[in-house]
Amino acid sequence: MDRLPAVNLLPEAFPRDDLAGQLGFIWQQIKTPLIVPLLKLAVGLCLVFAVLLFMERVYMGIVITYVKWFGRKPEKRYKWEPIKDDPELGNSVYPMVLVQIPMYNEKEVYQLSIGAACGLSWPSDRIIIQVLDDSTDPTIKSMVELECHRWASKGINIKYEIRENRVGYKAGALKEGLKRSYSKQCDYVVIFDADFQPEPDFLWRSIPFLVHNPDIALVQARWVFVNADECMMTRMQEMSLDYHFTVEQEVGSSTYAFFGFNGTAGIWRIAAIEAAGGWKDRTTVEDMDLAVRASLKGWKFLYVGDLQVKSELPSTFNAFRHQQDRWSCGPANLFRKMAMEIIRNKNVTTFKKFYVIYSFFLVRKIIAHIITFVFYCIVLPLTVLIPEVEVPKWGSIYMPCIITLLNSVGTPRSVHLLFFWVLFENVMALHRSKATIAGLLGAKKANVWVVTEKLGSKTTNSKAPKKPRFRIRERLHLTELAFGLFLALVSCYDFVYGKNNYFIFLSLQAITFFIVGFGYVGTIIPS
């Protein structure tokens, strides 16, 4: 029988002996019908989400401008007057206040926080300091307990509380603290993390808002940072957090819409906590969870920007990265669990529900992280390799520049660092994106709590903080190095074969990824 002729499945032009030529031929065959349309779709989606972020920033800018020029201070918007002495009632005219200080192996800062809390000015028989120590190191537990006894010997009403386990992490500790019999007699609870140092007049300035306005559940103070000038990384953190407090928190408070509790440096009405269902540990943002639930019950929140509390910024990259993972993963996971509950709620206005879902969660907590990384670190570089796809200048240059300028209003002293801030934020967007997606998917890591390491600030502690030991595995970050290499190669391609549209930006972004990848981000001191 005659053999059937062989069927040639490959085109005649296919280079059979040249591997590079084969790969190039395959690339040309799939680029036009598949890669180009997909990349155009990705560019289109990124531009849509970037416009949403741009509109959010412009809205915030308009509102904060109006507030600064024409808005009334919190003391004018709400009733505020000092609590007056009453000869007949004596100190009972002052509400009972519980001050909670949750701790976990806080060797470097426990004395600062306990000392600052014990230094609060308030009638001594109307305040209770509660140290909630979840430390696992017996030596540190003994030191914290001894410090509490030292202040108790001075007449301070301070309680040292421990648990058998760390169930619920911080939320569990706060919940257990409110169950104590002496806590039941308190009207308000103030929460300070272990590195926070309130001024003595904190209670005199905050409690009158709660006393004279029964619909207010929370008074949130602003954070200020004692170690902001420690290194370039802390300067970058200060810029981001200053925008959050100066703009985002102020806008949410001034428009009576919504803003999240920052987890510390705030004072709660205990009745509001109980009405909202108490502390829950279903996410790593127990503070935001409580704030959303209390808001859905109709309670109001007040942010007082002039009420400032000193705190410490993470000064090592690992500590900062773990903090950002928690702050990104937690909100996304909470949104996943509460979106329908917010939509169905009938106790608040449609505007507040829209604000919480769209502005607070969707744009700021989800879109902002993902679009920053995907657009500037993936899609934009790919358009260099595939010149058939172009990004309009308004989307790649003009709009991002306006967003960056609007972000600078929180920290005017750092305007000259804006470009470095953009590069650093793009690197951190890698971690935030991964954490956000994990939160949306409900991954196991969404409920893993890693406490932010505190080293103690040189400006507030006479002893210099100990530097962490150098570990090569902790110092190197392979993901950042991989993206740095990718961006470096793309920038070289743009310089040699492209239009040089993004050569400078991609080169500097690659360098930033390398700096972070090799663990040097915490050692660059700003001038």
- Burial of residue 478 (CB within 10 Å: 0-12, 13-18, 19+) is exposed
Q: Which of 133, 134, 193, 494 is catalytic?
A: 134
C-alpha 418/C-alpha 431 separation (Å) is: 20
Backbone angles phi, psi at 525, to 5 degrees: -95, 125
Q: Which two tokens stand for residue 88?
A: 């007949």
- Burial of residue 177 (CB within 10 Å: 0-12, 13-18, 19+) is buried
Q: Is 300 helix (H, G, I), strand (E, B) or coil?
A: strand
Max Cα–Cα distance, the chain, nearest Å: 120
Is 287 in the active site?
Answer: yes
SS3 readout for 429-484: HHHHHHHHHHHHHCCHHHHCCCCCCCCCCCCCCCCCCCCCCCCHHHHCCHHHHHHH
Per the CB < 8 A criterion, the answer to whether 149 and 129 are in contact is no
Q: Give residue 155's region: left, alpha or beta (phi > 0; psi -120 to 50).
A: left
C-alpha 56/C-alpha 359 separation (Å) is: 7
The order of strands in the sheet holding 188-191 is 158-162, 127-133, 97-103, 188-191, 266-269, 216-225, 300-311
Q: Which residues contact 12 (CB under 8 A, 6 or more apart)?
A: none
Per the CB < 8 A criterion, the answer to whether 362 and 353 are in contact is no
Q: Looking at residue 199, what DSSP letter applies?
A: -
Q: Which of 133, 193, 242, 287 is catalytic?
A: 287
C-alpha 264/C-alpha 191 separation (Å) is: 5
Q: For the beta carbon of residue 402, count every other beta carbon within 10 angstroms.
A: 15
Is 134 in the active site?
Answer: yes
Which of the residues are catalytic?
134, 287
